[in-house]
């Protein structure tokens, strides 16, 4: 058994299925701007680079826009999302049991996400996940986001771990690139919001069912 120094997780599409609430908030913003709604599949394809990019992609998919309209759309999205962060969002089946087993084994755990920090922490709290994590790192205005390695490396440092004996768990090409940029081993949750790359390109270590995830017997 090789126990890692730390395991860090992406949030949306990795630990939680949050796309329905993100879709709802995006569609509230689009409706206020007299634009067509997004379906769930399209919304999922827009997730991964932060809410600003999600809103930008939603506008591009539904018509022309300028900076002022984009700012208005983002404000409408955030207002709606703040009121409904966990209305439809739930942890994936098996996530809680997996986190409990890792904590029981004494593995330091963290979250590194492109979701803004306060919403990330609030969602974890409302879903009963906060107790499992020593560090939750989210995105902040004017600070680099994934796939820049800085957020992940900062999370690992805060956990008192080293990159080469930590694991980053994610569901997308953004997460894979982040891990590679940080020289951190990567595990792919293939049951999430995979965007941009085929599974065989992303990682040799992958799993599609949290009930079968086995980080302690790599």
Q: What is the DSSP string of 59-100?
A: HHHHS---HHHHHHHHHHHHHHHHH-SSSS-EEPTTHHHHHH
Q: Alpha-carbon distance 13 to 92, whole Å?
A: 9
Q: Which of 5, 10, 158, 200 is catalytic?
A: 10
157 φ, ψ (degrees, to nearest 5): -60, -45
The reply to whether 10 belongs to the active site is: yes
- Specify whether the backbone of 215 is left (phi greater than 0), alpha (psi in -120 to 50) or beta: alpha
- Is 102 in contact with 215 (CB distance < 8 Å)? yes
Q: Alpha-carbon distance 63 to 4, whole Å?
A: 47
Q: Alpha-carbon distance 115 to 119, whole Å?
A: 7
DSSP code of residue 38: P
What is the gyration radius of the CA atoms in the chain, in angstroms? 17
* Positions marked active-site: 10
């Amino acid at each position: 058994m090789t126990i890692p120094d730390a395991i860090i997780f992406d949030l949306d599409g990795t630990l939680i299925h949050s796309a329905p609430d993100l879709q709802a908030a995006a569609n509230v913003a689009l409706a206020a701007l007299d634009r067509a709604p997004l379906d769930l599949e399209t919304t999922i394809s827009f997730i991964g680079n932060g809410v600003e990019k999600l809103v930008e992609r939603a506008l591009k998919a539904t018509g022309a826009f300028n900076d002022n309209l984009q700012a208005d759309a983002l404000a409408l999205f955030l207002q709606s999302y703040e009121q409904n962060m966990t209305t439809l969002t739930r942890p994936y089946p098996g996530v809680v049991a997996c986190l409990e087993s890792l904590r029981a084994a004494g593995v330091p755990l963290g979250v590194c996400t492109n979701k803004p920090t306060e919403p990330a922490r609030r969602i974890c709290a409302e879903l009963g996940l906060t107790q499992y994590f020593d560090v939750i790192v989210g995105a902040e205005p004017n600070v680099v986001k994934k796939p820049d390695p800085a957020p992940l490396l900062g999370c690992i440092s805060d956990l008192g771990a080293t990159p080469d004996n930590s694991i980053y768990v994610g569901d997308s090409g953004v997460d894979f690139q982040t891990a590679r940029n940080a020289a951190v081993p990567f595990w792919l949750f293939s049951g999430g919001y995979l965007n941009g790359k085929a599974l065989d390109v992303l990682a040799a270590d992958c799993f599609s069912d949290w009930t079968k995830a086995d980080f302690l017997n790599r």
